[in-house]
Amino acid sequence: MARTPRSSYKTRLALTPYLLLAPAFLVLIFVIALPLVFSLYTSFTGYRLVRPDSLWNWVGLRNYERIFTDWDFWVAFGRTILFLAIALNLEFIFGLGIALLINRITWGQRTLRTIMMFPMMFSPILVGYQFKFIFNDNIGVLNNALQSLGISDAATPWLVDRNLAMFSIIFAEVWMSTSVFAILLLAGLFAMPRDPIEAAKVDGCSPLQVFRHITLPFLMPFAFIAMTIRSLDVARAYDIVDVMTGGGPAGRTELLWTLIARVGYDNSRMGQANAMAYVSIILSVAFTYYFFTKLVAARRYMGGAA
């Protein structure tokens, strides 16, 4: 039976939203979904980068079984959590301090805001090299300064000692990315209404009380957004660590992505590396979920929409 012009028009009208959305869906499918499905598939194969035909070598859960019995992987997993927790907290504290200080400045604030963002503009590889030479025990700036000033007469092995090596890497990471927190928190301070603060001052609140009960709760949603962004970044930390220590010595600074990159590229075992990457995604998902929960709670506390 032939369609009437009216029903054809109705069909076209019903299809229009799907047609309009189709380009977006296609982009999502080809740019995100397909690579994800492909990499998930390879994690069940013995895929070696230099042997394309090994892509069809199905090994089932073998890569995952190897990971669950691989002590080095879980040590790197735990170390990444520790690295993430310390770096994010330090970046938050320093970022908050910088934002509060810059917010008080009335002259030259724009210049200072620009200067504050300089570390973010460097490539992580350059930052890695910069700190590698600063922390070099023999010809590095830091040890030479400490020795010249008479503070120490030893050549401190910054990039070798178990604790100092992690400290040095965290220092470089914090140096480069604190401004992410500072910028977002500064935006929060700019958006902050003056009335509650003035009301609190009239009621006799001390500056510390104003900060504790008004400024900080107002800034927390901004802080949690920064933490969500940075937790995804730090959980994938690779460049700085690779340049400064390469995950060593003896695996002392091995993080998830230095390990995964070595397995996937240097050893060409991309199937196993992808299995590691999928397990490590748990970390990013967990932190993102945690920070979003905190963000919603902070907004609810401030009376905003959940």
Partner 1 sequence: MTKTTLKGLALGLTLPVLLAGTALSQDYDYGSFPDTTLRVKLIGGAQYEPLYAEIPKWEEMTGAKVEVLSRKNHFELDREIKQDIAAGTLDWCVGSNHTSFAPQYGNIYIDLNGVVDEAVLAKFDALALENSTVNGRLVQLPRHSDVSNLYYKKSLYEDQANKDAFKAEYGYDLAPPETFDQFKDQAMFFADAPTFYGTQYVGKDEAITGRFYEMLVANGGALFDEDWNPTFNSEAGVRTVNWFKDLYDANAVPAGVLNYLWDDTGLGFASGTVALNLDWAGWAAFFNDPANSKVAGDVGIVRAPKGVGGKRAGWAGSHTFSITETCDNTDAAVSFITFLTDHDRQMIEARKGLLPTRTQVWKDVKAEFEAEGNDFQAEVVDTYSLSMSEDAFTPPLIEPWIEVSNEIWPRLQAAILGEKTPQEALDEAAAEARLIMEDAGYIN
Which of 178, 245, 258, 280 lies at the binding interface for partner 1 (CB under 8 A)? 245
Strand, coil or helix: 45: strand
- The least CB distance from residue 28 to partner 1, in Å, is 21
Which of 266, 293, 302, 304 lies at the binding interface for partner 1 (CB under 8 A)? 266
Rg (CA), the chain: 25
Taking the least distance from each CB to partner 1, the nearer of 250 and 305 is: 250
Question: Using CB under 8 A, which of the segments 80-88, 148-156, 233-241, 291-299 binds partner 1?
Answer: 148-156
- The least CB distance from residue 197 to partner 1, in Å, is 49
The Cα angle at residue 235 between residues 230 and 238, in degrees rounded to 5: 105
- Applying CB under 8 A, does 262 fall inside the site for partner 1? yes
- The least CB distance from residue 57 to partner 1, in Å, is 12
- Applying CB under 8 A, does 50 fall inside the site for partner 1? yes
- Give the integer Cα–Cα distance in Å for 294 and 87: 18
Which tokens in the block code for residue 149?
């000033």
Which of 94, 157, 187, 299 lies at the binding interface for partner 1 (CB under 8 A)? 157
- 70: exposed, middle or buried (Cβ count in 10 Å: 0-12, 13-18, 19+): middle
- Applying CB under 8 A, does 149 fall inside the site for partner 1? no
- 185: exposed, middle or buried (Cβ count in 10 Å: 0-12, 13-18, 19+): buried
Which of 97, 119, 196, 249 lies at the binding interface for partner 1 (CB under 8 A)? 249
Which of 191, 246, 285, 289 lies at the binding interface for partner 1 (CB under 8 A)? 246
Question: Using CB under 8 A, which of the segments 49-57, 75-83, 100-108, 293-301 binds partner 1?
Answer: 49-57
Taking the least distance from each CB to partner 1, the nearer of 150 and 204 is: 150
Cis peptide before 196 (omega within 30 of 0): no
Give me the sign of the Cα torsion angle 113, 117, 118, 119. Answer: positive
Question: Using CB under 8 A, which of the segments 8-16, 150-158, 184-192, 229-237 binds partner 1?
Answer: 150-158
Give the amino acid at 133: F
Cβ neighbours of 64 (radius 10 Å): 16
Q: What is the x/- site pattern for partner 1, positions 121-140, by CB under 8 A? A: -----------x--xxxxx-
Residue 255 in contact with residue 83, Cβ under 8 Å? yes
Which of 82, 267, 285, 301 lies at the binding interface for partner 1 (CB under 8 A)? 267
Which tokens in the block code for residue 298?
């902070």
User: Which residues face 45 on adjacent strands?
Assistant: 58
- Applying CB under 8 A, does 75 fall inside the site for partner 1? no
Question: Using CB under 8 A, which of the segments 146-154, 187-195, 201-209, 289-297 binds partner 1?
Answer: 146-154
- The least CB distance from residue 151 to partner 1, in Å, is 13
Q: What are phi and psi of 48, to 5 degrees?
A: -110, 135
Residue 133 CA from chain centroid, whole number: 24
Residue 289 CA from chain centroid, whole number: 14
Which tokens in the block code for residue 216?
């900080």
Give the amino acid at 118: F
Number of residues that bind partner 1 (CB under 8 A): 34
- Which residues of the chain form contacts with partner 1 (CB under 8 A)? 49-52, 132, 135-139, 143, 147, 153-160, 244-246, 248-251, 262, 265-270
